Structure 1
Amino acid sequence: MTQYFSMWGNLTIRENLLFIARLYSLDRRRDRVERALSELGLTARQHQLAKELSGGWKQRMALAACMLHEPVLLFLDEPTAGVDPKARREFWQMLHQLSDRGISILVSTHYMDEAERCHKVAYLSYGRLLANGTIASIIASQNLITMRTSGAGLTLLESQLQRLPDIEQTVIFGNQLYITSRDEAKLKSALFAFTQQGYEFCKVDTNLEDAFTYLMKNNCEKN
């Protein structure tokens, strides 16, 4: 399944699916189309022109087309790029339903929350495989410690922390600042001075984005 819409806008959803079934000389075409429409929640929209669909519904239709030949393996190239959050969530719910039926699904994505939905992930950077395994194993392998603080002046605090040798990375999300290091004792020591300024730091779980960012940083430094 391609990243961008690659079906026929002047055909309805149903016509698109029937046309694809004919292209691949599939048997039981109408039965296959009916099943795909039902499974992907497209029955009520089956007579709507494809060009009139939102991004999320276009991707549903594309997935329905991929399911016509009853595959055991699906390749999806950034299937939710440009899709709104609600449609993204619904699309991934459908993927998990397909996975529960025994279908293997390989997805490329830039969204870390989507990667965290997968049973296993592989991290590719400039053609190099940097990590491969479960989410938990990849995060654990980086041995990162993450602390969090909140309050005023986070941008200034972040710039000060970034100059310290034992700080690997920092990132601001809303009114919270996350600080990552590989040495918990040195991290706490580095942060102690800032507690005198009124900041409170608490340890939190390192997430996949932290691990991937660290992997990318190290890979760039080695090259």
Structure 2
Amino acid sequence: MMRAPEPRHNGREVVIDVSGLTKRFGDRVVVRDLSMRVYRGQIYGFLGPNGSGKTTTIRMLCGLLTPDAGQGTCLGYDILTESQIIKRHVGYMTQRFSLYEDLTVRENLEFVGRLYGIPNARQAATAALARLGLEGRGRQLAGTLSGGWKQRLALGACILPEPQLLLLDEPTAGVDPKARRDFWSEIHALAGEGLTVLVSTHYMDEAERCHEIAYIAYGELLTRGSVEEVIRQSGLATWTVTGGDTWRLAEELKHREGVDMVAPFGSSLHVAGRDKGKLEAAIAPFRGDPALDWREDAPTLEDVFISLMSRSRDNFP
């Protein structure tokens, strides 16, 4: 039986509340002094470079990995001493398809149901098929499904035991845009029912679908909050320039003081810096070029992401 939920914070039920989490693998500090709070029904996104500690962080937050330092709770249980109980309430969907490809869609779901001791596994599988639009594919071998349908099946298997916390590790990698959109519609429906979701992603459009995001780079939590808060906290001043030879312009600008980020977006160029005065001084010599059209712009989440990446230092020995 689940214990009573933790006290509410600002009127919201806290699902994860941790402080000072640190994890080492050998001499390498993979996550350093991380503190975070996640609320029930939130979709919390984790962004950052490959190998920066996103997956390690998520696993510590939900009791799947024991931190070397720090403390906290998940679902009302202590992540250090009660991790085995936490695991019973977590659904984990990995990037790689991990179900049986030589079983049918229905057989996979019924197997998962029996594995978790669900009283009527066949009925639960039927309900999962209907919810995820898989009714017509129940007899199809899982190995013959497309990437998008495999993703739906994996999600169905994850939510079959009715977890209270769902962990998604880059779940839509290699999936077409429509399948990704359908997947996220279902995730929002689940969150609306009270399921809490932790997800790592590299897609900016997916990050923008999260209620809150955190950017982690090589073990350090650099920023967190809603998308609007993260953009505002970045302090970036941004200009968009079109026309002329933007490739050559990018080469000239990226070495100038005050320019923290230069990134091409189609036929335009985004130029950004954390010091507005220095940035404007850096681009001033190029503003008079009649072939170039300069427009002061609001920074995007991708601008912030690229800027943070450029300032991050790999912690690999």
Name the aligned partner's letter for residue 154 of structure 2: A
**How far apart, CA to CA, are the structure 1 residues paired with 2:284 and 2:154?**
54
1:128 aligns with 2:220: yes
**How far apart, CA to CA, are the structure 2 residues paired with 1:174 and 1:215?**
21
Equivalent residue, structure 1, for 2:110: 18
Equivalent residue, structure 2, for 1:139: 231
Relative CO higher for 1 or 2, CA cutoff 8 Å, sep ≥ 6?
A: 2
String of CA shifts for 1:45-77, please: whole Å, max 9, x gaps. 111110110111101000000111112210011
Query: Greater strand share, 1 or 2?
Result: 2
1:9 aligns with 2:96: no
**How far apart, CA to CA, are the structure 2 residues paired with 1:184 and 1:95?**
39
Report how far residue 141 of structure 1 moved: 1.2
The equivalent position to 2:205 in structure 1, one of 110, 113, 138, is 113
Alignment of 1:187-206 (within 5 A): 187-198=279-290, 199-206=292-299
Report how far residue 185 of structure 1 moved: 3.5
Alignment of 1:139-178 (within 5 A): 139-178=231-270
String of CA shifts for 1:17-69, please: whole Å, max 9, x gaps. 00111111111222211111111111111111101101111010000001111
Equivalent residue, structure 1, for 2:308: 215
**How far apart, CA to CA, are the structure 2 residues paired with 1:139 and 1:42?**
38
1:74 aligns with 2:166: yes
DSSP-derived class of the 1:146 partner: strand
1:28 aligns with 2:28: no
Distance 1:154 1:221, change over 3 A: same
1:41 aligns with 2:133: yes
Distance 1:125 1:187, change over 3 A: closer
The equivalent position to 1:185 in structure 2, one of 274, 277, 296, is 277
**How far apart, CA to CA, are the structure 2 residues paired with 1:38 and 1:205?**
43
Report how far residue 82 of structure 1 moved: 1.1
DSSP-derived class of the 2:128 partner: helix
Query: Greater helix share, 1 or 2?
Result: 1
DSSP-derived class of the 1:201 partner: strand
The equivalent position to 2:154 in structure 1, one of 62, 65, 70, is 62
**How far apart, CA to CA, are the structure 2 residues paired with 1:42 and 1:30?**
14
The RMSD of aligned alpha carbons is: 1.8
Name the aligned partner's letter for residue 77 of structure 1: D
Distance 1:222 1:137, change over 3 A: farther
**Structure 1 unaligned residues grouped into runs of 5+:** none
Equivalent residue, structure 1, for 2:29: none
DSSP-derived class of the 1:69 partner: coil
Report how far residue 127 of structure 1 moved: 2.2
**How far apart, CA to CA, are the structure 1 residues paired with 2:183 and 2:100?**
21
**How far apart, CA to CA, are the structure 2 residues paired with 1:81 and 1:21?**
26
**How far apart, CA to CA, are the structure 2 residues paired with 1:193 and 1:151?**
16
Normalised by the size of structure 2, how large is the TM-score?
0.67
DSSP-derived class of the 1:86 partner: helix
Distance 1:222 1:98, change over 3 A: closer
Equivalent residue, structure 2, for 1:92: 184
**How far apart, CA to CA, are the structure 1 residues paired with 2:246 and 2:168?**
39
DSSP-derived class of the 1:44 partner: helix
DSSP-derived class of the 1:64 partner: helix
DSSP-derived class of the 1:123 partner: strand
Report how far residue 222 of structure 1 moved: 11
